[in-house]
Structure 1
Amino acid sequence: MAATVWLGLTSLGIVHTAISLVALAAGALALVRYKEISWRTGLGRLYVWTTVLTCLTGFGIFQHGGFGRPHVLGIVTLLALAIGFQAGRGRLFGRFARHAELAAYSATFMFHWIPTFTETLTRLPLGAPLLASPDAPELKAITGVLLVLYAVGLTLQIRRLRGGTAPLSPPGPVRAGS
């Protein structure tokens, strides 16, 4: 097992955290610039790949005992990424493919924030973290707020899509390498 080196993180935990921060930044920039996360943009592809790497590195982290909720969230995130990718190619969900793509990728962005808040609030400040454990009731409230923000954001994205103001190009097929 890797040695604990910084903030109680293992070497794998540090790599995992660094990758996840890149994913969060790419997702946030994509949302600001394009009003959505999509494989059609460089930021979207960077977001997807770093989110995949975040999930894969997260599977090797067992800070709170064996396989647990964070690992389940990683699996759900990978499934949502796959759905978003396939929906973006226009092969799933028929005329609702773009809606499914928006919902799936936006959900993965929200999923990133759950462990971000959990790990930050249960580790910082050093020696006296704001929350005692990942089961703190405040984290349930934060997750509820994240769900509301997701619903509001998705509603705005779908309205924009229906209004024809979506800046991204057509919902036609996208090649995996493009």
Structure 2
Amino acid sequence: MFGLSALGLVHTLLGLVALVAGARCFLRDGAISTRSRAGLVFIGATVLTCVSGLGIFQRGGFNIAHALSIVALVTLVISALVERGQVLGRLSPYVATVGFSLSYFFHWIPGTTETFTRIPLGAPLFSSPEDPNLEKTVGVLFLVFLVGAAVQVWRLRQRQGCPAPAGRLA
């Protein structure tokens, strides 16, 4: 289906689970956090998506998508450690919140690239990962991330003294 291998299909489904869980976190709690079940699903699915992506070499050898997987994993680990350990004191909730949001943004780069270089069938929206229109689209997604992160930081600031983003295991 859409030229995906079995690993590619599993990888895609895991990525979709992560995107839905992350969206639920944003809509319900305003942020991704290890303190919510949806946040834990997002983190787990993101880790599995990144790890499975390291085994996909459709476009040749190690490439920017593989590097992005590694950066996303590092971002998740740092965000979780900072959120749980409060290692940065009063900055911890801000760093963790922006870090988790950044890892959510990272999903959209390969997701947009792989989807719209394949769909619609026979006449994909973008000709290749290097298509200038794709680069503009990723730029717009980055602006959405920046606005969202700013709103999250502003909300945290309004709650002064809040040790972590709102979230609960529910």
Counting aligned pairs with the same residue, the percent is 45
Whether the 8 Å contact between 2:31 and 2:152 is mirrored in structure 1 is yes
**Runs (5+) with no aligned partner, structure 2:** 165-170
Matched, 1:100 2:95: yes
Equivalent runs, 1:15-26 vs 2, <5 Å: 15-26=10-21
Q: Provide, for residues 62-110 of structure 1, a one-character-per-residue CA deviation record: whole Å limited to 9, x for no partner.
A: 1100000000000000000001101111342221000000111000000
Q: 1:56 aligns with which of 40, 51, 65?
A: 51
Q: Distance in 2 between matches of 1:36 and 1:12?
A: 30
Specify the code of the residue in structure 2 equivalent to 1:140: E
Does residue 1:78 correspond to 2:73, yes or no? yes
- For 1:65, give the aligned amino acid: G
Structure 1 CA distance for aligned equivalents of residues 130 and 152 of structure 2: 32
In structure 1, the gaps of 5 or more residues are 1-5, 172-178
The alignment's TM-score, normalised by the length of structure 1, stands at 0.89
Match for residue 135 of structure 1 among 127, 130, 139: 130
2:41 is equivalent to residue 46 of structure 1: yes
Deviations 1:106-154 (A, max 9, x none): 0000000011110111001112211111110011111111111111101
> Which residue number in structure 2 is paired with residue 3 of structure 1?
none
Distance 2:146 2:119 in 1: 29
Which protein, 1 or 2, shows the higher relative CO under an 8 Å CA cutoff with sep ≥ 6? 2
Q: Is the 8 A contact 1:118 1:139 kept in 2?
A: yes
TM-score by length of 2: 0.93
CA distance in 2 between counterparts of 1:78 and 1:32 reads 23
Residue 165 (structure 1) shift: 8.2
